[in-house]
Each structure stands twice: as structure tokens, then as C-alpha cells.
Structure 1
Amino acid sequence: MMLPGRVVADYALNPTKQPLEHAMSMTFSGQVALVTGGAAGIGRATALAFAREGLKVVVADLDLAGGEATVALIHAAGGEALFIACDVTRDAEVRQLHERLIAAYGRLDYAYNNAGIEIEQGRLAEGSEAEFDAIMGVNVKGVWLCMKYQLPLLLAQGGGAIVNTASVAGLGAAPKMSIYSASKHAVIGLTKSAAIEYAKKGIRVNAVCPAVIDTDMFRRAYEADPRKAEFAAAMHPVGRIGTVEEIASAVLYLCSDGAAFTTGHCLTVDGGATAI
């Protein structure tokens, strides 16, 4: 929409009078990022991407070997990283994670809450209470606990950004994965609510909503039936599933100054799947 007689730099449209190029910046400098679920897949790819941009990275996961391997890859590339074992469903461990992060690096600028659990593969009435508790515990309680401890740290230093991993399964119906779908709807609710609560505090909270991505989780789910893998690729108008690097790029964008006017947003990275 054009506004006659006004310019983009006008105070009413741009109160800080920041130059337009600031909004396109993807630059990170001397900052600290936390990635949960960083032992493999999307989490590892994002941790490596943060490190390539010069950030110090804290990798958190229950998988000790995988988490240490991610840190070793960062060190081998000349980056700085620290692994901290953490069960995101346990309040004490999440609190200690953030205490150790601050003790090591003194600050937190970006948090990517990515730790998640695999989907169930059955109709709703076939699910178990244990399955429900496990999925909700990691995917919902884990995100809530992490944000519970991240937000005060970001407030104390005057701002920052949080990105949560949701899913296209959180944007609509997901037959035969109703618990997982419900958990990702909840992540979107947490994301949007926190974004509004902290919008004027310099903190942005967004989510990424991947479709099917080539991860170990995907391979475990589909390797027993190649026909399912072919169907998964066909779900996406681009004709393939996504890569972990493509999700990492989306996360970095949402953390960057290029997304300075973006909060409460759920960015679909889905090869066109939700456009159908």
C-alpha cells in the first residue's frame, strides 16, 4: 500500500530511523546460540550453521556421543562450542543447562528449541498413555521449560531471539499421528503467546514448521517401507523431501536482523506442501 507524501524513513513508519539496509542484515558478531536436540539432524545442521557465522554455540541433547560429535565438528571447522547433556523434560536439568551456559559464555542471544520426539504411526484410539506422555513431555513441556529459563536471560541483556521447532503437522490435521500433531499445535500456541508477551521487550519468538525432512528420524520411520518414502516425497510439490540445511537456513534467518520485524510467525519450510 502506498502512503502519499510519506517516505519509509518517516518517524511514524520507522521510529528508530534505522537505515533500510539494516533490515536486510544477516550478520552475527560475538554472540551465543543455544541449540537443543543438537546431536543430529536439524539440530546439528543448525549448530554448525551458527558456528560458521561466528557464534559460540551450546549444544544440548540426551545423546552424549552425538552431542560431543557435533561439538567436535564445530571445533574442527575452527568454531567454539560446548556440549551440555540435558533432558528437556526435567526442570532441574533445563535450569542447570542455562546456568552452565551463562557460566561459560556470560550471555545468551539466540535459542533454538529443537529437541523433539518421533511421531506415532497409528489411529488416535490405538495410542497409549505412555506414548502420549512421552511425546507431549519432550515436544511441549520441553519447549515450555526452555523458554521459561531463556526469557529472563534475554530480558536481562535487553533482547534476543527464540526459534522453536513446530511442524506442518501443527498447522492442520495429521491422520495417524494425532498426538504428534497436537504437540506441534501446542508449540505454535506457546510461540505465539510468548511473542506477544515479550514483543515490546526486544525479544522475538518464532517457529519453523518443516514438512518431511531427511533426518535419522525420517529414515527410521520409512526405511522399512520404501513406498512410504516415495509417498513422502510426492507430498511436496517440489518433488522431494527437504534437507536439514534448509531448515537451518530458516532458523538463522529468523534469528538475524533480517527478521527484525518478524515475531509470532510460523515459517513453513515445506516444499509447497501447505499451499495445496
Structure 2
Amino acid sequence: MDLTGKVALVTGGASGIGAAAARRLAAAGARVAIADRVQAPFADELGGLALTGDVADPECMPAHVAAVEEAFGRLDVVLLNAGVTAGQSGVADLDLEAYRRIVGVNVDHVVFGLTAAVPALRRAGGGQVVATASLAGLVAMPGDALYTMTKHAVVGYVRSAAPMLATDGIRVNAVCPGFADTPLIARAKARFADFPLLTAEDVATAIESVLERGEPGECWFVQPGRDPAPYGFRGVPGPRGAPRPPDVDWSDH
């Protein structure tokens, strides 16, 4: 992967998957802005930019994008990686504050991030956006319904947004890792004692593969011991004899 002359923005970049991906992007030649709630301690060593803020705040991602363009003059790659868990099932119980938090970080941040990045990517002549989803965005995850809901939302958003931006030279994808040994599962790590876990580097490798070879709208699964690859979604049967539904330009509505 050669990103010489390119500029990347990574959210949730101070640790875990985000930190591994930021280092990988910098090694490929990109200038990297690392955004998180706390300042990334290694941003200076990468020659990058450390940004802080709450990505669930509607004003945060536009401010991050503006800061990146001011510092580096352009934006080419965006990794929307920040994420949290709910800490509750969301079925038999519901902590409203925690519910709002997981939706804000896992869903709103992806929407705010993409819409903030698109104008900058267009000014750069195109670019790439990768959202970190999860296997929980592809299959049911009993016991963690809220997290599953948010990651399904990310997958659906990516698949729907990608065709709309492909004509602008902007490629939108998702990576969908299985359980990874990162701070996100730290409190529950004992439950995975006998279960193979991904490393942050495994997921960074998958992100690199998506940036190199991904097609618009693909959602790549990442599992221990397997090469990352696009997930094959099954088509939904349509009405018998019905033509393909038309593409709708909602800007006219």
C-alpha cells in the first residue's frame, strides 16, 4: 500500500484497532490525524496530528475534518473506527443514557463522519472511507442486542451510501471483525479464555486490504486464521414478475 502524499483521518485512534491502523497508514506514507477522546500519545512520533473530542457530538467531525485540511491541505482516507459497547442487553433492561451513548458513538459518528468528510474528499478528487463495523453487523449476537443493532446500522449505511458516492471517486466500505483483543472487550476478556481472538494488527491488515482492493459497498469479514474477504450478502426475493425498483434521487423530494 502506497499512500505517499495522502492524508488520513482515524477516529478512535489512540488505542486498539485505530492505533494499529494509524501506524499502518503512516508507514505507507500518509500523514495521519488521530482523533480520540484522549490525545494519542504517539501522534508526534508519526509526524501526525492529534485531535480530541466526542465523535457523538454533531459538531465534532466537521471540526476534525476542518482541522485536517488546515494542517495538511487535503483529506484522502477516513477510518471511522471509534466504537463502544452498551454494557447491557437492551432487551429486558434499558439504561437510557448508555443506550444514547452507544447509538451516538457507533451510529451517529459514522453518519456525521461521512457527511463531514465528503466535501473534503471531493476537493481532493476522491478518496476512501472505511467504517469499522463488526461480525455483529452481519449476524445476530444474542446477549448484546444494542451493539448488534448499531453495527447492523453501520453495515446498512455503508452499503447504501457507497453507490451514491462512487461516481465522485469516493469508495465507502466496512470492515467487520470478530472478537478482537482490544480495550473494547477488556472487562469481559475472561469470557474469551478458550476462544481465538483477533489482534489489532489482524484488523489493521484487513483495513489495508480493503483500501487496496475493496469495491464500493463491500463489507469485509475478519476472522482468526482466515484471510479477510468481502461478505457475500444473499439477495432478497422480490415480487414475482416485478421490474427492478427505480433508483430514487431523494434530493428532489
* TM-score > 0.5, shorter chain as reference: yes
Q: 1:70 aligns with which of 17, 39, 42?
A: 42
Q: Percent identity?
A: 37
Find the counterpart in structure 2 of residue 249 from structure 1: 205
Structure 1 residue 113 corresponds to structure 2 residue 80: yes
CA offset at residue 213 of structure 1? 0.4
After superposition, residues 228-239 of structure 1 pair within 5 angstroms as 228-231=191-194, 233=195
Determine helix, strand or coil for the equivalent of 2:79: strand
Give the letter for the 1:59 counterpart.
I
Find the counterpart in structure 2 of residue 164 from structure 1: 131
Give the letter for the 2:208 counterpart.
L
CA offset at residue 155 of structure 1? 1.5
Greater RCO structure (CA 8 Å; 6+ sep): 1
CA offset at residue 101 of structure 1? 0.6
Find the counterpart in structure 2 of residue 269 from structure 1: 222
The separation in 2 between residues aligned to 1:206 and 1:160, in whole angstroms, is: 11
Give the letter for the 2:219 counterpart.
C
After superposition, residues 152-231 of structure 1 pair within 5 angstroms as 152-222=119-189, 226=190, 228-231=191-194
Structure 1 residue 50 corresponds to structure 2 residue 25: yes
Query: Structure 2 unaligned runs (5+)?
Result: 233-253
The separation in 1 between residues aligned to 2:138 and 2:103, in whole angstroms, is: 17
CA offset at residue 159 of structure 1? 0.7
Q: 1:89 aligns with which of 56, 76, 80?
A: 56
Q: For the aligned residues, what is the CA RMSD?
A: 1.8
Contact 2:86 2:98 in 1 (8 A): no
Q: 2:15 aligns with which of 32, 40, 64?
A: 40
The separation in 2 between residues aligned to 1:128 and 1:99, in whole angstroms, is: 34
Instruction: Tell me the alpha carbon deviations over residues 127-170 of structure 1, each in whole angstroms, 9 at most, x when there is no partner.
Output: 32222111101000011000011111111222100000100011
Give the letter for the 1:247 counterpart.
V
Instruction: Tell me the alpha carbon deviations over residues 45-73 of structure 1, each in whole angstroms, 9 at most, x when there is no partner.
Output: 00011111111000001113xx1x1314x
Find the counterpart in structure 2 of residue 11 from structure 1: none
Structure number with the higher helix fraction is 1
Query: Structure 1 unaligned runs (5+)?
Result: 1-25, 234-239
Determine helix, strand or coil for the equivalent of 1:89: coil
TM (norm. structure 1) is 0.78
Q: 1:137 aligns with which of 104, 124, 142?
A: 104
Give the letter for the 2:218 counterpart.
H
- Equivalenced residue count is 228
CA offset at residue 120 of structure 1? 2.6
The separation in 2 between residues aligned to 1:141 and 1:188, in whole angstroms, is: 13
Contact 2:175 2:222 in 1 (8 A): yes
Find the counterpart in structure 2 of residue 60 from structure 1: 35
Find the counterpart in structure 2 of residue 20 from structure 1: none
TM (norm. structure 2) is 0.85
The separation in 2 between residues aligned to 1:253 and 1:264, in whole angstroms, is: 14
Find the counterpart in structure 1 of residue 248 from structure 2: none
